């Protein structure tokens, strides 16, 4: 199994652990990831909100490279990257205006793109290409007894819902159930926004959103929250002290990339998965997994 | 027909509409006051299955630059499966037209239901633009010698 | 043949056509065309003076062909053909040129509209010399009527028709008639008890000697045409002999399979495998659920139903039965389905206890329902706070764009019922707009505000059980933007009622195909004309009533049922009906007997004459699609009204300039 791999720019900064653990996890599963040559930022939410048409061109440059580089599907780990790239395909297919603008921009740098490169979220790859049964068989350390709150984030399958329900996704729940964990399936905040970039512009509002997420997981008895997006991870983990200060709470909730926890189940060691890089200590999570 | 198109060419189109679905869809586009280009003259038949290659050829010969056939969606035919006959016949007709040197896209088959006024308007708009891009067909000029294709509308003759 | 003298009439239709088309110019042009003897314009051709113009010209000026350039022929072709006939002209020598729906209404530019109108008109001027005088085919009408669906619409239509002495077959797919209305407790805004007003009608329909009630049956095939439909109905096996069963219900008590979710109670109550859906069922007969009955599943059972049945009505050997009916008209009254709110995960239906649908609340509040009319949560406690969420699955581009029309009103009814049962319970109505459109409806809304119901203008965003404050603990929280206060609110509730919209029945499309008419974009049955023929379909002889056409309340449903019954009666009360003569014919002199048309005819209306070795059209069976005409290599079959030379002439006219 082989995929082209788009790490996204967070994976080189705040989300480095996501990239490291993804490579380790896929290595354990025997999936080859070929990093995209000379990739650029997907444009993310911010650029799309300012100049939509131009941002499609930015995203499409990556897709053009991918199309040239290989026939494999393009595997993406960050929710925002996934949404942006998939949206670019969708809009190119549906709008002549977007198609023309993108072709024009790519043409200026001697690139072309047909609009047909399949963009796949890593969770989609794991659950639908490898399959839950095969995953279950490869587990070396079952996550028995661990209560996991799967935090999908708002862009996981919104708005298109290509591989999961946009309002109430379930793929990650099934994934961790296959790994033996006790998943909090009705985690109310699972597809809510973490506050995103608002943490920098309107912190009070973003903190309220994080508070709701943390309380939801805490009240449901979660041992750990797992994420599929670097920004979600940073907000929910890194802002716990400020949530505590603002709302008089006392959260000390381990938050991990889902690839980190899954890596443990497939036999990678914590260091390989950059679990030591987490802000809230995950030692008790690691310790809680039966050997 | 005014000739104020982008390339000075206004397509002349014939649209064969089945009476139950597409003709009513076209009516609905009207009652909904949707706007579309004026290039197509509709001709009503009971069923799209009534239309055969001679009607299409006749239209092209008389100067049409494109021909639309619109019928009920599969399963919706008022005559059980008349539209399946249309669908089955269409690729053969296209092959025939291809052999006569007709560009792909001059003859189009669409399913338009009585509820799809918007689709009818969209199809006519798209089709007009499509034919505009292809340019004039000019078959009528080639048929000045009427012996090549005798005028069909002779009162007593059963046309071939 | 006499000289062709065509009269052209160009209708202004007020400003509908004349506002866009230069009528004077077109008429002046038309007057110059070959064969045109007279060209006139008139403000409203469909008016009596307009029709008189046609009659006078035919009678006084020797006009023998007429084209009326006006609206769609669907609208007024019958009007003008009748006028022509009245003046002694064969009606099929009149054509319409549709310059309104196909021209003036859809074209932006006046010059372009004028040119298009000329081309449309010219097509008909060219066609007319080829038109033949035709006579409508008169066929006998079967006076019986089939009504499909036994809800309030079907019952009402059946009773009305039966009262005129017509034979009515009332087919219902469930074991009992009554439909959704039978599930309701009260009806808005008068708060009549639904059962009190419905059950007398149900029982009347069950007893009427003119009504043959076929419950637990479905139409599987429809053939024929107006006045002469042949319908196959499958009577599903009840495994109970309905002639001997008395409806005593003794068997229900003895059945060992007791925990089947009751469809009638929306799964909130239980029934046994042998069941009567509700005590007032009509027909009051037991039915065995083949999927639940141990014996029918091939498992061991002591069959206490058999021993408890005095008349010995249980019959495990019963089979589905196909019944063939012949009717002259059909009324479709197949109703709606509640939109399944599980499709929108934000509201937690199916996941959060005490988030219920409106139909579930109808059963909970119903005295004969699973809680005997006690309004209680799953834990048996009465709710201290109830939130009613409007427009679930309605007015929502993600799901259904349409307004379901009844939800505002039934939601208000729920508020009233809750306040009546539990005066101290807080009730919140979360609405986008209040649509109280009927007689006494606005007054009912005002009354509810006086009863202390909290009206919150805002569509509910989400229902969650994640408490963010001590007072929210253990409750449901409805999140919404209160657009009057301009704030986001979290409303705690113990019970959330989702006022789900009305959706087309899941099989609406398939049913419409079986009967041969269409559905509109929203999935409901398509009426012939939204205003003037709201209970007719495009298929002559098939009528529609009630929520299968579009969501509507009970008063409108009953009114429509009456209208559909009147439409059917106006048809079947005649001994004969005239059908279009636009059918095919085959000249035996020219037919080579190749068989191609025989196999292609959708209506099996062409047979091969072994003696003459030619194909021939069975006139009574031909419906006039013209497939045979198009299929024949030698163009031997022709279709009256759509002859090849007529179509060719239209093309020539349309392309003449």
Are residues A142 and A180 in contact, defined by beta-carbon separation less than 8 angstroms? yes
For residue C330, list its beta bridge partners.
Answer: C146, C542
Is it the case that residue B158 has pLDDT exceeding 50?
Answer: no
* Distances, alpha carbon C81 to alpha carbons A127, C12, C92, in Å: 67, 19, 7
Give the mean model confidence (pLDDT) for residues C234-249. Answer: 96
Q: How confident is the model at residue B155 (pLDDT cuts 50, 70, 90)?
A: very low
Give the mean model confidence (pLDDT) for residues B145-155. Answer: 47
Report the chain B residue with the minimal C-alpha distance to residue C626: B50
In terms of domains, do A176 and A107 share one? no
State yes or no: cis peptide before C273, omega within 30 of 0: no
* Distances, alpha carbon C71 to alpha carbons A165, C239, C264, C510, C655, in Å: 48, 56, 48, 32, 21
How many Å apart are CA C196 and CA C449, to the nearest integer? 27
Domain assignment of residue A76, yes or no: yes
CATH classification of the domain holding A172: 3.40.50.11810
How many Å apart are CA A46 and CA C617, to the nearest integer? 70
* Distances, alpha carbon B145 to alpha carbons B35, B61, B142, B155, C370, in Å: 39, 12, 8, 20, 84
In terms of domains, do A180 and A220 share one? yes
**Which residues have CB under 8 Å from B88's CB, separation 6+?**
none
Are residues C252 and C274 in contact, defined by beta-carbon separation less than 8 angstroms? yes
pLDDT (tens digit, 9 = 90+) per residue, C142-170?
999 999 999 999 999 999 999 999 999 99
> Tell me, what DSSP letter sits at residue C449?
H
Name the residue with higher pLDDT: A130 or C619: A130
Indicate contact of B with A: 3+ CB pairs under 8 A.
Answer: no
How many Å apart are CA C463 and CA C347, to the nearest integer? 5
How many Å apart are CA C121 and CA C39, to the nearest integer? 12
What residues of A are in contact with residue C467 (Cβ under 8 Å)?
Answer: 219
Contact between A219 and C344 using a beta-carbon 8 Å cutoff: no
Question: Which long-range contacts (C-beta less than 8 Å, at least 24 apart) are formed by A101-104?
Answer: A101/A53, A101/A54, A101/A56, A101/A57, A102/A56, A102/A57, A102/A60
Indicate the SS3 state at residue A33: strand
Interface-testing mutation among C341, C342, C345, C347, with chain A (most A C-beta atoms within 10 A): C345
Is it the case that residue C410 has pLDDT exceeding 80?
Answer: yes
Q: How many CB atoms lie within 10 A of CB A278?
A: 21
Contact between C642 and B121 using a beta-carbon 8 Å cutoff: no
State yes or no: cis peptide before C189, omega within 30 of 0: yes
Report the chain C residue with the minimal C-alpha distance to residue B113: C518
Domain assignment of residue A72, yes or no: yes
Phi then psi for C128, rounded to 5 degrees? Answer: -50, -40
Note which residues in 258-287 of chain C have CB less than 8 A from chain A. Answer: none
What residues of B are in contact with residue C654 (Cβ under 8 Å)?
Answer: 14, 41, 43, 62
Domain assignment of residue A126, yes or no: no
pLDDT at residue B144, rounded to an integer: 57
pLDDT at residue B7, rounded to an integer: 58
Are residues C285 and C242 in contact, defined by beta-carbon separation less than 8 angstroms? yes
In terms of domains, do A102 and A160 share one? no
With the CA atoms of C540, C546, C551 and C556 taken in that order, what torsion angle do they form, in degrees rounded to the nearest 10? 110
pLDDT at residue B25, rounded to an integer: 95
Are residues C74 and C526 in contact, defined by beta-carbon separation less than 8 angstroms? no
How many Å apart are CA C361 and CA C369, to the nearest integer? 10
Q: How confident is the model at residue B145 (pLDDT cuts 50, 70, 90)?
A: low
Residue whose C-alpha is closest to residue C432's, from C482, C377, C476: C482
Interface pTM (ipTM) of the complex? 0.90
Are residues B110 and B123 in contact, defined by beta-carbon separation less than 8 angstroms? yes
Domains of chain C, start order:
6-136 (3.40.50), 145-236+321-335+505-572 (3.50.50.60), 337-503 (3.50.50.60), 584-639 (3.30.70.20)
Token pair belonging to C143: 């006076």
Token pair belonging to C254: 């003895």
pLDDT at residue A135, rounded to an integer: 96
In terms of domains, do A159 and A198 share one? yes
CA–chain centroid gap for A161, Å, is: 15
Interface-testing mutation among C392, C466, C477, with chain A (most A C-beta atoms within 10 A): C466
Q: Does domain B13-157 have CATH number 2.40.128?
A: no
Give the mean model confidence (pLDDT) for residues C470-498. Answer: 96
Residues of the domain holding A258: 131-288
Domain boundary among A79, A94, A121: A121
pLDDT (tens digit, 9 = 90+) per residue, C313-328?
999 999 999 999 999 9
In terms of domains, do A135 and A272 share one? yes
pLDDT at residue B141, rounded to an integer: 78
Q: What is the pTM of this model?
A: 0.85
Contact between B153 and C603 using a beta-carbon 8 Å cutoff: no
Indicate the SS3 state at residue B152: coil
Is it the case that residue C244 has pLDDT exceeding 90?
Answer: yes
In terms of domains, do A73 and A159 share one? no
Token pair belonging to A26: 């896929």
pLDDT at residue C1, rounded to an integer: 54
CA–chain centroid gap for C352, Å, is: 35
Q: What is the largest CA-CA distance in chain A?
A: 56
Residue whose C-alpha is closest to residue A67's, from A95, A92, A47, A45: A92
In terms of domains, do A169 and A149 share one? yes
What residues of A are in contact with residue C468 (Cβ under 8 Å)?
Answer: 211-212, 215
Is it the case that residue C604 has pLDDT exceeding 90?
Answer: no
Q: Which residues of chain A have pLDDT under 50?
A: none
Token pair belonging to C603: 């209506």
> Tell me, what DSSP letter sits at residue B73?
P
Indicate contact of B with C: 3+ CB pairs under 8 A.
Answer: yes
Note which residues in 458-497 of chain C have CB less than 8 A from chain A. Answer: 464-468
For residue A130, list its beta bridge partners.
Answer: none
Domain boundary among A121, A145, A161: A121
pLDDT (tens digit, 9 = 90+) per residue, B17-41?
999 999 999 999 999 999 999 999 9
Q: Provide the number of CB pairs (under 8 Å) joining chain B to chain C.
A: 181
Is it the case that residue B2 has pLDDT exceeding 70?
Answer: no
Is it the case that residue B4 has pLDDT exceeding 90?
Answer: no
Token pair belonging to A70: 């290989």
How many Å apart are CA A255 and CA A214, to the nearest integer? 10
In terms of domains, do A48 and A114 share one? yes
How many Å apart are CA B133 and CA C454, to the nearest integer? 60
How many Å apart are CA C7 and CA A47, to the nearest integer? 66
Task: Give, for C359, the enclosing helix (H) or strand (E).
Answer: helix C358-364
Contact between C466 and A168 using a beta-carbon 8 Å cutoff: no
Give the mean model confidence (pLDDT) for residues C508-521. Answer: 90
Q: Which chains touch B (3 or more CB pairs under 8 A)?
A: C
pLDDT at residue A275, rounded to an integer: 95
How many Å apart are CA A64 and CA A112, to the nearest integer? 6
Domain boundary among A74, A93, A121: A121
**Which residues have CB under 8 Å from C48's CB, separation 6+?**
none
Is it the case that residue B61 has pLDDT exceeding 90?
Answer: yes
Q: How confident is the model at residue B3 (pLDDT cuts 50, 70, 90)?
A: very low
Residue whose C-alpha is closest to residue C13's, from C40, C42, C44: C44
pLDDT (tens digit, 9 = 90+) per residue, B76-98?
888 888 999 999 999 999 999 99
Q: How many CB atoms lie within 10 A of CB C623?
A: 23
Residue whose C-alpha is closest to residue B39's, from B18, B69, B9, B17: B9
pLDDT (tens digit, 9 = 90+) per residue, C624-649?
999 999 999 888 999 999 999 999 99
Is it the case that residue B5 has pLDDT exceeding 70?
Answer: no
Residues in chain B, total: 160
Q: What is the number of structural domains in chain A?
A: 2
DSSP A168-181: S--HHHHHHHHTT-
Q: C345 touching A, CB under 8 A? A: yes
Residue whose C-alpha is closest to residue C357's, from C343, C372, C373: C343
Q: Which chains touch A (3 or more CB pairs under 8 A)?
A: C
pLDDT at residue A50, rounded to an integer: 84
């Amino acid at each position: 199994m082989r995929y082209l791999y788009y790490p996204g720019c967070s994976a080189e900064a705040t989300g480095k652990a996501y990239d490291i653990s993804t490579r380790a996890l896929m290595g354990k599963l025997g999936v080859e990831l070929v990093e995209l040559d000379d990739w650029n930022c997907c444009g993310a939410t911010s650029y799309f909100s300012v100049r939509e048409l131009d941002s499609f061109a930015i995203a499409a440059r990556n897709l053009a490279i991918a199309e040239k580089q290989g026939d494999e599907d393009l595997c993406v780990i960050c929710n925002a990257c996934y949404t942006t790239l998939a949206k670019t395909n969708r809009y190119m297919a549906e709008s002549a205006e977007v198609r023309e603008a993108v072709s024009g921009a790519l043409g200026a740098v001697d690139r072309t793109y047909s609009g047909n490169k399949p963009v796949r979220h890593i969770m989609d790859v794991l659950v639908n290409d490898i399959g839950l049964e095969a995953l279950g068989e490869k587990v070396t350390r079952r996550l028995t007894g661990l209560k996991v709150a799967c935090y999908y984030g708002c862009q996981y399958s919104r708005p298109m819902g290509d591989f999961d329900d946009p309002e109430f996704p379930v793929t990650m729940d099934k994934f961790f159930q296959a790994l033996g964990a006790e998943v909090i399936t009705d985690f109310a905040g699972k597809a809510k926004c973490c506050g995103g970039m608002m943490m920098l512009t309107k912190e009070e509002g973003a903190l309220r959103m994080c508070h709701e997420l943390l309380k939801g997981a805490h009240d449901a008895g979660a041992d750990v929250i797992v994420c599929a997006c670097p920004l979600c991870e940073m907000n929910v983990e890194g802002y716990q002290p400020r949530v505590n200060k603002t709302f008089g709470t006392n959260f000390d909730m381990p938050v991990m990339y889902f690839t980190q926890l899954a890596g443990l189940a497939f036999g990678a060691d914590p260091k390989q998965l950059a679990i030591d890089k987490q802000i809230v200590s995950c030692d008790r999570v690691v310790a809680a997994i039966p050997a | 027909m005014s000739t104020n198109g982008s390339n000075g060419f206004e397509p002349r189109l014939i649209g064969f509409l089945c009476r139950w679905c597409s003709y009513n869809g076209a009516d609905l586009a009207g009652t909904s006051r949707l706007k579309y280009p004026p290039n197509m003259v509709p001709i009503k038949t009971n069923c799209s299955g009534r239309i055969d290659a001679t009607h299409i050829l006749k239209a092209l010969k008389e100067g049409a630059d494109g021909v639309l056939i619109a019928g009920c969606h599969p399963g919706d035919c008022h005559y059980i499966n008349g539209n399946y006959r249309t669908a089955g016949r269409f690729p053969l007709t296209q092959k025939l037209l291809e052999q006569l040197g007709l560009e792909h896209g001059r003859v189009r088959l669409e399913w338009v239901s009585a509820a799809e006024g918007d689709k009818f308007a969209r199809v006519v708009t798209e089709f007009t633009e499509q034919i505009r891009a292809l340019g004039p067909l000019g078959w009528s000029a080639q048929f000045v010698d009427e012996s090549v294709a005798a005028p069909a509308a002779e009162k007593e003759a059963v046309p071939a | 043949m006499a000289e062709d003298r065509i009269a052209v009439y160009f209708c202004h239709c007020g400003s509908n056509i004349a506002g866009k088309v230069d009528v004077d110019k077109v008429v002046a042009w038309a007057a110059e065309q070959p064969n045109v003897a007279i060209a006139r314009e008139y403000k409203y051709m469909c008016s009596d003076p307009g029709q008189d113009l046609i009659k006078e010209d035919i009678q006084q000026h020797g006009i023998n062909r007429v084209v009326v350039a006006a609206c769609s022929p669907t609208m007024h072709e019958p009007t003008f053909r009748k006028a022509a006939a009245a003046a002694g002209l064969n009606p099929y020598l009149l054509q319409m040129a549709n310059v309104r729906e196909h021209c003036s209404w859809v074209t932006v530019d006046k010059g372009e509209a004028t040119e298009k109108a000329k081309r449309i008109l010219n097509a008909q001027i060219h066609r007319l010399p080829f038109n033949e005088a035709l006579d409508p085919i008169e066929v006998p009408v079967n006076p019986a009527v089939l009504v499909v669906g036994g809800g309030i619409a079907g019952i009402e239509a059946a009773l009305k028709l039966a009262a005129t002495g017509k034979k009515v077959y009332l087919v219902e797919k469930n074991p009992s008639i009554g439909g959704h209305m039978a599930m309701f407790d009260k009806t808005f805004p008068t708060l009549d008890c639904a059962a009190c007003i419905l059950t007398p009608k149900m029982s009347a329909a069950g007893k009427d000697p003119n009504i043959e009630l076929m419950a637990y049956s479905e139409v599987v095939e429809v053939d024929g045409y107006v006045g002469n439909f042949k319908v196959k109905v499958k009577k599903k096996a009840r495994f109970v002999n309905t002639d001997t069963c008395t409806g005593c219900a003794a068997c229900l008590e003895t059945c060992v399979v007791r925990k089947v979710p009751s469809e009638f109670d929306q799964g909130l109550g239980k029934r046994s495998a042998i069941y009567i859906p509700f005590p007032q069922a009509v027909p009051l007969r037991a039915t065995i659920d083949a999927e639940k009955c141990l014996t029918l599943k091939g498992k061991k059972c002591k069959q206490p139903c058999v021993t408890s049945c005095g008349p010995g009505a249980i019959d495990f050997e019963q089979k589905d039965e196909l019944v063939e009916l012949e009717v002259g008209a059909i009324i479709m009254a197949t109703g709606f389905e509640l939109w399944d709110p599980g499709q929108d995960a934000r509201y937690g239906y199916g996941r959060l206890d005490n988030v219920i649908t409106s139909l579930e609340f109808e059963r909970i509040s119903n005295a004969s329902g699973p809680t005997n009319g006690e309004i209680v949560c799953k834990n048996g406690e009465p709710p201290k706070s109830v939130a009613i969420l409007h427009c679930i699955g309605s007015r929502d581009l993600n799901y259904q764009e349409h307004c379901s029309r009844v939800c505002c009103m039934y939601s208000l009814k729920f508020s009233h019922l809750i306040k009546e049962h539990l005066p101290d319970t807080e009730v919140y109505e979360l609405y986008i707009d209040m649509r109280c459109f009927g007689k006494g409806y606005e007054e009912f809304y005002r009354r509810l505000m006086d009863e202390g119901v909290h009206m919150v203008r805002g569509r509910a965003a989400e229902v969650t059980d994640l408490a963010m404050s001590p007072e929210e603990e253990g409750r449901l929280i409805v999140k919404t933007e209160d657009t009057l206060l301009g704030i986001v609110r979290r409303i705690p509730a113990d019970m959330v009622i989702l006022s789900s919209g009305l959706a087309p029945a899941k099989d609406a499309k398939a049913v419409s195909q079986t009967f041969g008419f269409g559905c509109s974009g929203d999935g409901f049955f398509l009426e012939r004309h939204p205003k003037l023929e709201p209970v007719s379909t495009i298929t002559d002889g098939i009528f529609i009533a009630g929520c299968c056409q579009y969501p509507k309340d009970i008063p409108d449903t009953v009114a429509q049922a009456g209208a559909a019954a009147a439409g059917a009666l106006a048809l079947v009360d005649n001994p004969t009906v005239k059908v279009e003569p636009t059918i095919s014919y085959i000249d035996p002199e020219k037919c080579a007997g190749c068989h191609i048309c025989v196999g292609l005819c959708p209506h099996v209306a062409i047979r091969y004459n072994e003696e003459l070795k030619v194909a021939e059209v069975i006139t009574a069976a031909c419906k006039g699609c013209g497939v045979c005409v198009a299929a024949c290599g030698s163009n031997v079959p022709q279709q009256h009204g759509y002859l090849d030379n007529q179509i060719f002439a239209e093309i020539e006219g349309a392309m003449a300039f």
